Amino acid sequence: MELKKDDNAVSIDMLLIVHSEKRRAAQGAHPDRQADPGAPPQRRGGLQVVGNGIRRWQKLEGSDLHGNLVEKQHPQQTQVITSYDSQGTQLTVEVHPRDAMPQLLKKFSLAKRLQGDKNGNTRPRQPGGKDAHAYPWDRSSLKSIPLDLRQFEKLDTYASQVTVKSGLDELVSDLLQEAHSDLERVRAIWIWICHHIEYDIEAAQEKDRQAFKPTTILQTQKTNCDGYAGLFEKMCRIAGVQCMTVPGYSKGFGYQPGQSFSGEFDHAWNAVYLEGRWHLVDSTWGSGLVDSTTSKFTFLYNEFYFLTHPALFIEDHFPDNKNWQLLKPPQSLRQFENNMYHKSEFYNKGMLSAHPETSTIKTVNGKATVTIESCAPTLFMFMLNGKQEHGLLNLRKNGMKLDVYPPTVGTHKLQIFAKGNSEIYSSVLEYTLKCHYTDMDVPLPAELHQPVGPSWFSEQMGIVKPSHLEPVIYTSDGRCSVSFGVEEGISVLASLHGDDGPITEETQRRYIFQLHREKRTELKVQLPHAGKFALKIFVKKRQEPGNYIFVFNYLLCCTNAKVNWPVFPESFGNWGPDNELLEPLSGVLPANHNVPFKLKLHGVAKALVKGQDTWPLTLNHEGYWEGSCSTAGCQEVYVMVLENANHNFYSYILKYKVNAQ
């Protein structure tokens, strides 16, 4: 053996003879399977269906000198065995069949290869200190490299439309036609894979299925996570870009908050070398998602997993080698398990942080509180055990606050959703609530919808400057008055909801009397009894067809057991938006009484009250119509107006009931 060494390389001359039969026996080779020189390293062993819908990797029967995965070749062919150490040193050995004439002296090179060629024949360097990003996230960017996604619009459109004509090399060549930098080359490959390769659910559920080869993936356009990662790496190397496949644990489909990880790794992704640093991508999760109820894959492009900031990537990806976290300091597996998992949509929709930062919350006095900070006004909703109940969600200018009151002791599932710029609410957070105590005085009305209290959203919908800024209103006598400004052309509708059995829609509105004064709307509310009620507020543009839209509600609370207010009088369509009722406010009048009336009515010539007899109202100097009416001998009393003095037709505007004698 001859050994030579200088600053750049080490070379060894040796004679190597290997018996192929022994090698076959030692490795358990399958003679009926032909090797694909373009295939990624195969990860053998039983495949299990795991929580996130991907197959687990079992250990190889053999590995190289440094524990790196190596591809097994057919024993009857000349084999090339390549090994790398942690410094990127490469050892290449050719193994010939026994009956072939070996070269007596074969030179092997151990050289540090710093640059790769266009065919991907390179071993990239391991990540180091200059690749590391600070942890925790500094909120600077979702990406590990400054990007303006608008610069990719033309390239993305082109790459997504490229079709497979023959092999992988030609596909990469076609993709690179519009790519002029390593970043654009990686982007074109990423876009193509995310828009053309479907996640293979059946493969993830089968046992003993062999690893996907790039040629097979191109034919079927289906694969699993290691197939995605292997294809991405192969295409990058063909494009002359250094790329690695990184195995590890993931918080994907089926993940439960707080679960622990052990045993075989369940996922694979990639690291790609750009502009002098390593960056992370996951084309499996970038391509779409698996529906938890149907277990079907749907293409749904997710930009988040392209060059993700490592401090965000670590939330759902834990690599086998801590160096591939690209973090300083790196996180332990225990930290990965315990840290709060913010889903990709959490960041896609502009969220910045959430509190508590642990996935399990213990209630205090029967209540748990969650707050979210966002970079822009955002709509939220929540579900506790699959229902939008038992919580108060208050929108804030940059986020929200949620108070949850579990109805029973035990464990509860809390999901939080955000809308962002899309029309769809997406799940952004999940918590497990541990409740050891419930306050029986806390139960909230089932009809209390979200959000509770005025916010930027109600202002956006035309309701401004509310009299009550807080979401909860306490009343000692069962009455309250809420007012707010209303923008031009907006109509307001309100209704009251409690948990005292079925109430007609008409009755829900009869405990609220709506008044308008100088571009402000006032809602006078009388509660039928003590308890908690939802005061729901809806709006609609007067000139547009369609239904009223729910905007927000207040929670009204009264503990006075003596409260027993009747409904307000029933109003009809001719009750103008600027009319005002001072008395009587009760919709039920006492029998055999003279009842005073005082109203402000606009645009009417005459007004009267009709019971058993007719009682005219007169207009005073303050602009109010005044008078009185006897309730003797009648069951109902009406207020009527004549809008045009030249006509004789009176319109009903208010209706009262008279108590039975």
Catalytic residues, which ones? 225, 267, 282
Is residue 88 within 8 A of residue 69, CB to CB? The reply is no
SS (H, E, C) 455-506: CHHHHHCCEECCCCCCCEEECCCCEEEEEEEECCCEEEEEEEECCCCCCCHH
Give DSSP secondary structure letters for 547-588: --EEEEEEEEEE--TT----PPPEE-TTS-TT-EEEE---SE
For residue 136, is the peptide bond before it cis, meaning its omega torsion is within 30 degrees of 0? yes
Least Cα distance to 347 among 52, 139, 156 occurs for: 139
3-state secondary structure of 445: coil
DSSP 193: H
Tokens at residue 228, please? 């995605």
Tokens at residue 328, please? 């300083």
Tokens at residue 241, please? 């870009």
Is residue 189 within 8 A of residue 239, CB to CB? The reply is yes
Q: Which residues contact 333 (CB under 8 A, 6 or more apart)?
A: 249, 261, 318
SS (H, E, C) 232-253: HHHHHHHCCCCEEEEEEEECCC
Pairing, β 588-589 against β 651-658: parallel
DSSP 530: S
